[in-house]
Amino acid sequence: MNTIKVVFTDLATLSLLLLIGMIIRKKVKCIQNLYLPVSLIGGFVGLLLGPQILGHFAGVSLPLGKTISQWPGILVNVVLGLSFFGTQSSKNFGRIALSAVNQGGLVHQTQVCVGLGLTMLLMQFFPNLPLAFGLTPVYGFHGGHGTANAAGAALVEAGWADGLAVANTMATAGLISGIVVGMIIINIGVRRGYAQKVSKPQDVPVDIKEGIVPVEKRKPIGKGVTYNDALDPLALQLAFVGIILGMANILSRSLSWVHPLLKQIPLFACAMICGALLSQILKRLGLADYIDRPTISRIAGVALDFLVCSAIATLSLKVFAVYMVPLLVVIISMIVINVVVNFYFGYKMFDVDWFERTMGAYGLESGVLATGLMLLRVVDPKFETTGQESAASSAALCYPWSLPYVMFGPMLAFILPGWMMLGGSFVLWLFFYILARKFFWHPERNFSDVVFGK
């Protein structure tokens, strides 16, 4: 079978899994109540029906060849390459945005420090455990599946063959815990009167739970920049995607020619740079209006859904078995830490709407902004508080400290000693903490009042 036929066969398989996932989401009430994304459901169906489980016991399975496992590594370049393409620079640097960014920085660095610290401790009992294992929690929880796949692929290139599978496992744990634990916290918080806009856990409309938008509520997903008789509007936006990926390949090869060490810079990092560069080039040429950012966002969303589905469907159960104890220790610790630090710093730092803003931040720090907005919708159905602004600001402005960990962390984890990486990460945590204490702190608020519901 030639390459293009393999791609279309894989596309058919993943499309079937997404359709099955959509049907399950629509029909199964308990799945609806968990708000699990269809891509996650479809991925688990693929894992169940694939060669690792059904194939192992029945001898027949859904055809999940080796090529599907390669999809996440390719699609992540699309997802991250479009991050800055066609975006407008944010002018919202008010107190709400800055406090959210500061709180997000503290949570991010806490995840890094806890992950590295626990790993250094576990390495005493599991000598074959690499230090890079300690970075996978922040890749999975803070970054989500997109970042986990990008950093995981870089870990594989750096010499840890299981890095991608471990990072994906962390991302899956982060996403599920963010939704499930988040709903538990909402029920407790609303009953204690922390929420301002609802007096009981909000009954989310059935269509949102099912995931299907009613006909009368459907909206366009983008705008047509070109006339169909000239060029299909979607084709133009896809052409930009192709150009970004082509530029990224050229940049990646050029860097390796400049210096062998630069070969370690992952392709997704080059794609992000090229996406921002192409956006500026088009702007300088007066062609910025050719970009339709909503359509670009939808293309990135499609890539992310297929990425998550293919990543979950091809998760290595053998790798999970090998790292089972370290994985369980770190995942459980990270779930607890993620709750504590988000709500501690949120309560201490957020002037107004602390519960709503913290719920958004907790969802964001458990994988993706969409999770944070979903949790926020339950306690703030009409987005009347500053929760949406807070979460969006934190997500948009976290790149200066999160990207270096993704771009260079996999390489440095095999070069630097653990104490140096942990020490440097703690210094950055301390920087955020000092800023928080100086500009946003509320010493009169006792966190024990939140914990015990005083």
Assess if residue 132 is contained within a domain.
Answer: yes
Instruction: Confirm whether 162 is domain-assigned.
Output: yes
The share of the chain scoring above pLDDT 70, in percent, equals 95
What integer pLDDT is reported at residue 202 of this predicted model?
Answer: 59
The answer to whether residue 210 is domain-embedded is: no
pTM for the model: 0.81
Distance CA 358, CA 361 (A): 5
> How many other CB atoms sit within 10 Å of the CB of residue 420?
11
235 lies in some domain: no
In-domain check, residue 81: yes
Q: What is the pLDDT of residue 121?
A: 96
Q: Please give the pLDDT value at position 200.
A: 67
Position 246 in a domain: no
What is the count of structural domains for the chain?
1
Q: Which of 57-61, 91-95, 213-217 shows the lowest mean pLDDT across its residues?
A: 91-95
- Tell me: the pLDDT tens digits for 232-257? 999 999 999 999 999 999 998 888 78
347 is in which domain, residue-wise? 66-204+302-452
Residue 280 forms part of a structural domain: no
391 near 100, Cβ under 8 Å? Answer: yes
**Torsions phi, psi of 66, nearest 5?**
-65, -20
Q: Average pLDDT of 89-101? A: 76
pLDDT 10s digits, 183-212? 889 888 888 888 887 766 656 678 877 888
> Sign of torsion, CA 393 154 342 378?
positive
* Lowest-pLDDT choice from 35-44, 323-332, 363-372, 430-439: 363-372
Most confident of 69-73, 82-86, 170-174, 267-271: 170-174
Distance CA 149, CA 43 (A): 15
Residue 312 CB neighbours (<10 A): 25
**Quick check: is 293 in a domain?**
no
pLDDT digit string, tens, across residues 315-360: 888 888 999 999 999 999 999 999 999 999 999 999 988 999 999 9
User: What is the pLDDT, as a whole number, of residue 201?
Assistant: 61
How much is the pLDDT for 236?
95
State which of 11-15, 364-368, 405-409 shows the largest mean pLDDT.
Answer: 11-15
Per-residue pLDDT of 102-126, as tens digits, reads 999 999 999 999 999 999 999 999 9
pLDDT of residue 92: 52
**Residue bearing the bigger pLDDT, 137 or 384:** 137
Query: What is the reported pLDDT for 260?
Result: 67
**What are 432's two structure tokens?**
């955020």
